[in-house]
Structure 1
């Protein structure tokens, strides 16, 4: 069966196509199916040569991998979300290098109104255990979703306490669905799904949990969330990497202070001292700082506030009035821009996922 999912998987599994190029190709061609259409490839031959992708095709080996992936998805009820469709996690679209395809088992709760990631050390202390339990019990409400990474320590306890307090929770994995890592969390992962949560990944089914996958995975934990809470972390490590990612995408960062004599709290205390994170000592305090206490709960819409430059705003407002418009017509209406400057503005907006460039240099908004 060769439908759009088949070709999206082809982009994921093709050895010469990166995540960035997969998104770029879909935007250029209009769909993954058309990326492999011989006539369409002729139309965009210049771009394909420039990107060194003019020779991409689906051979027997790749076809076998795609068919196997689909069979496993059907068998295990794995859902795929595409970056250019409305059910994709909206917050991810404003994060760094968001995945072209995002897999999950369980419910699609990625656009719920209040999403908080909880991260921290694998070597959790009794103090850390008490803090996780206290914070989650004090924050528990119907609209909250807690995201973490299913690792030992803080991650595992955050998922467990979320379930215990009736809060839906999501685990983002650094590998495919062929296994649960660590293996002792297999039952926990099942409980998360059964309680209305999800486990998710950007990786193909048989991808193994190699070390470099986990820092990469952390950008998704940060990107899915409105805010992140660090509970126990040394000055260096995965939690600090995630914290820096949170700050880079301008999301809220919180942490719980700890003993100045404990290496396990050095990272958290330093975040507060450097003014990088807000220190909190209760779940209610975090909810209040996020404005999640008195506001009615609303689903996140399929658009977020767009931070546009003045030039981009002019282009945006023009395209907002029409379904689509060619670059020459845009230039005729926005005469303050030279053709080269306008092309540069549109390219930047395309990379940010704001506009789509269709054949013939026709542009339309994909985020309104």
Structure 2
């Protein structure tokens, strides 16, 4: 129901979810509380109708279809409070309250890198998207993209050719494959334990305003975003800008001066994106990201997958000798933060004060702790894991 509420944007959802243990709690609040929270009138009216079991016909049909699909196992639902919700995505400014998931949810749990680019990519652009996707897959990274024509499709196909995992983030519902000519690619992705995800109800068609919302999920799932080819007006530049805002690494491939589809990449490089020409250059930039995630299914990228790189690059900062729960993989800053974190929820403001970390570093360390399984987000802040 939360995904159907009119007027409730992701920017509205993020602060609201921090108040309650689950998204459903929002739907159970009184009219006075909803008004005090500043929700738009259309949102409050829809919640009131849901509480009174008098939803408008179209909303009821969407809700009934979603329930039927869930009961038949056609797709699953991953909510913000779920323990398997992707940790990196949880920490963006406007995480989706829920995700409809078609395929293997485990594909969301390994380290990911997004590859995006022009829908009208050149032959070189398509080749580069496929080649980088294959090599990154062989290095242990899942490939995230948007299933669009051009570079996106080539990236998904490259991951499949390397027997890797790939995540397609849709700007439509998971039952409305767009563009239609990529239905066969979507089916191949699902057959190889990949996954289709969307924050939109399953049968919602794509609309222009939904693509920027989709792009923030692509970048939010990923450690970095590689733009292989883009014009100055490409939606890929939106994804790159969102990635920068989210604190992700942004990489761009240089192109020919005569290629209009390379001008967006050149602009990104001028704006601070990393110019890269090979996968080892990307891997070298990502060595600071430490993640302990689904090791049985998707092992962490290893030094053996790199070319001409020292194995010491994969070692965590200042490892400590601790036994069980992932603490041996923590950096010195993460250890210090964990030391001041208790088993009762503490706000980020409190953790900033106690750890002495600036907010930006604090959020990166919290991501590391959550990925290592030694801390997790709860209503009201963060707490240590008791396991």
Q: Fold-level match, TM-score > 0.5?
A: yes
Cα deviations by residue, 1:74-117 (Å, 9 ceiling, x for unpaired):
335211111112110111012231100011111122120x2110
User: What is the aligned counterpart of 1:49 among 10, 35, 38?
Assistant: 35
Query: For structure 1, which segment, 139-148 or 228-237, has the greater mean C-alpha deviation from structure 2 after superposition?
Result: 139-148
Distance, in Å, in 2 between the alignment partners of 1:126 and 1:199 is 26
Cα 1:82/1:75, change in 2 over 3 Å: same
Once the two structures are TM-superposed, the CA of residue 30 in structure 1 deviates from its matched residue by 3.3
Contact 1:138 1:284 in 2 (8 A): no
Q: What residue is the counterpart of 2:278 in the other structure?
A: 282
- Report how far residue 179 of structure 1 moved: 1.6
With over 3 angstroms needed to count, the CA separation of the structure-2 counterparts of 1:185 and 1:64, relative to structure 1, is closer
- 1:257 touches 1:280 (CA, 8 Å); kept in 2? yes
Distance in 2 between residues matched to 1:111 and 1:169, nearest whole Å: 11
**CA–CA separation in structure 2 for the residues paired with 1:49 and 1:242:** 33
Residue number among 125, 132, 135 corresponding to 2:132 in the alignment: 135
Alpha-carbon contact 2:66-2:201 (below 8 Å) kept: yes
CA distance in 2, matches of 1:241, 1:323: 39
Moved more, 205-214 or 68-77: 68-77
CA distance in 2, matches of 1:28, 1:136: 39
How far, CA to CA, are the matches of 2:220 and 2:345 in structure 1?
Answer: 30
1:1-368 maps to which residues of 2 (within 5 A)?
A: 10-15=1-6, 17-22=8-13, 24-37=15-28, 41=29, 47-52=33-38, 56-57=47-48, 58=50, 59-61=53-55, 62-75=59-72, 77-108=74-105, 109-112=107-110, 114-141=111-138, 143-274=140-271, 276-291=272-287, 292-294=301-303, 295=314, 320-323=341-344, 363=380, 365=382
> Which runs of no fewer than 5 residues in structure 1 stay unpaired?
1-9, 335-348, 358-362
Residues 176 and 169 (structure 1 numbering): CA distance in 2 closer, same or farther, change over 3 Å?
same
Q: 1:147 to 1:356 in 2, by over 3 A?
A: closer
For 2:200 and 2:384, the matched residues in 1 are separated by: 26
Contact 2:112/2:221, CA 8 A, preserved across alignment: yes
Q: How many residues align?
A: 316
Secondary structure of 1:140's counterpart equals helix
**How far off its partner does 1:17 sit?**
4.0
How has the CA–CA distance of structure 1 residues 183 and 76 changed in structure 2, closer, same or farther, with 3 Å as cutoff? farther
Q: Describe the superposition over 1:324-365 as per-residue Cα deviations: whole angstroms up to 9, x where unpaired.
A: 589xxx9xxx9xxxxxxxxxxxxxx9xxxx8755xxxxx563
Deviations 1:137-192 (A, max 9, x none): 33332631000000000001111111011111111000112321111110110110
Residues 258 and 204 (structure 1), Cα distance of their counterparts in 2 relative to 1, 3 Å cut: same
The alpha carbon displacement at 1:198 in A equals: 0.6
Task: Note the C-alpha offset of 1:20.
Answer: 4.4
TM-score by length of 2: 0.71
Residue 225 of structure 1 deviates from its aligned partner by 0.3
SS at match of 1:200: strand
Match of 2:320 in 1: none
SS at match of 2:206: coil
Aligned counterparts of 2:71 and 2:5: Cα–Cα separation in 1 = 21
Q: Distance in 2 between matches of 1:366 and 1:51?
A: 26
The alpha-carbon distance between structure 1 residues 129 and 68, as it changes in their structure 2 partners (threshold 3 A), is closer
TM-score, scaled to structure 1: 0.75
Question: Contact 1:233–1:268 at 8 Å: present in 2 too?
Answer: yes
Relative to 1, partners in 2 of residues 1:29 and 1:98: Cα closer, same or farther, differing over 3 Å?
Answer: closer
Q: Give the C-alpha shift of residue 293 in structure 1.
A: 4.6
Worse-matched range after superposition: 162-171 or 124-133? 124-133
